Each structure stands twice: as C-alpha cells, then as structure tokens.
Structure 1
Amino acid sequence: MRVPANRRTPLHEIAHARAGDKGDTSTLSVFPYRDEHYPDLVRELTAGAVRRHLGDRVRGEVVRHELPNLCALLFVCRQSLDGGVTTSLALDAHGKGLSSILLSLEIEVGEIEVSPSSPPR
C-alpha cells in the first residue's frame, strides 16, 4: 500500500538514527529505511531544522555532513552533553536519547510504501 506524497510524517516512519559522543559533542546519524527516501532527508533535514527541533539540548552549532554513498546524514552537535560523559551528572550523559528525539521531527516526504508484513529494507 502506498501512502500519498507531500505529507508531513514523523522521521521515524522513513528512517532510523544512531547517536555517538566525543567529549561535549554528540553525533547523530540518520539512515532511511529505503534509499529512495534519501533525497527527502537531504531536502528536509537541514542543520537548522535539527538545531530547532533539539532546542536547548544543544547549546553549540549543528553541522550536517552528507554521506551519499551510504544514503546517510551525519549531524555533529557541539556543546550538547553538559561537558561530556566524564564530567556530566546528566542521566543521558552519552546523549543516546537525542537520536530518539530527532526521530520525532516531522518532515515532508514523497510517497511511502507501507507493508505491514515485511520490515523496511
């Protein structure tokens, strides 16, 4: 079944994300379930959109890196971990929750193929 194009949908419907950390910097990688949604990610997931969505969880700049050979986007979020895992008292000192928060961002997408019997990819 196909869901119509040009509708807003939560990012988690078309992609998954992973988080990493180094000091006070969090890295968020976003991968579409299907390669045909990579252009949607490139168009909609700007550094500014990610920065606005994460709000005050990120105090520094957000830099986006496109990885077209992997159909992935990498976001480097500076000053996002309260000093880093060795100094922070935060419950999520590694920033793993940031990837889940990012997946709630609504973006405009093209047609989506929905098949309840088979997982994406």
Structure 2
Amino acid sequence: MQLRAIAHSRTGDKGNVSNISVIAYDMADWPRIEAEVTEERLRAHLEWLQIGRIERFVLPQLGALNFVLHAALKGGVTRSLALDAHGKCLSSGLLDLEIAD
C-alpha cells in the first residue's frame, strides 16, 4: 500500500532546504510509519532529486516524522528555475512510498 493510505504530509522550505513532515492519521499506524519511513527509504524513493544530507526527527507524541532535506531545492526559491521551487510537491511524492500492508 502507499504511505498516503495511513498518513498525510506537509512541506516547508528555507533557501535550499526543504522539510517534509509525515503524520499518521491514526496512532495505531505510527509504529509502522516510524519503522518503514527512514532516511534511506526517502533517499531511494526520491533519488531523482539528488538530495544532500537528510535529517530525520521522530515525534512520537504527535505520531509524526520530520525530514530536513539539505540541498534539495536546486538553489532555493530565488535561485531556481524549477517549476516547484518551494518543494511543495515533495510531500505528494513521499506519500507514494510503498509500505507493507
């Protein structure tokens, strides 16, 4: 199944850094999200993006993960000609991640 079946996501940006949160709809799904959505899986899933360093912050009290993706926005909003300079579509791309049923 896709991650979007059990979680939603939100993105933000600052310069060339994007952050993506993954939030469980139901806390019963939180352990699966925490175990399966890792820096390595994120990097492999978004390999086309050629992300720099990835930091993962675990927020169990919220049933959420926050990923900070360095060098992910091709220079940032004021320097990139990318159609999605803010990286808002990255959340949708991450939610396509396949996880175990």
Shorter chain as denominator, the TM-score bin is over 0.9
Larger Rg: 1
Q: Which structure 1 segments of 5+ residues have no match?
A: 1-8, 110-121
Residue in structure 2 matched with residue 56 of structure 1 by the alignment: 48
From 92, 101, 113, the equivalent of 2:84 is 92
Contact 1:58/1:77 (8 A) holds in 2: no
TM-score (norm 1): 0.80
Q: Which structure 2 segments of 5+ residues have no match?
A: none
Which portions of structure 1, spanning 4 or more consecutive aligned residues, are displaced by more than 4 angstroms?
none
Aligned pairs, number? 101
Amino acid at match of 2:96: S
Residue in structure 2 matched with residue 101 of structure 1 by the alignment: 93
Indicate yes or no: 2:67 matched with 1:75. Answer: yes
Amino acid at match of 1:37: D
* d(CA) in 1 for partners of 2:11, 2:44: 18
The structure where strand makes up a greater share of residues is 1
* d(CA) in 2 for partners of 1:79, 1:56: 13
What does 1:9-28 correspond to in 2, within 5 Å? 9-28=1-20
Percent sequence identity is 50
For the aligned residue pairs, the C-alpha RMSD in angstroms reads 0.9
Residue 106 of structure 1 aligns to a residue whose secondary structure is coil
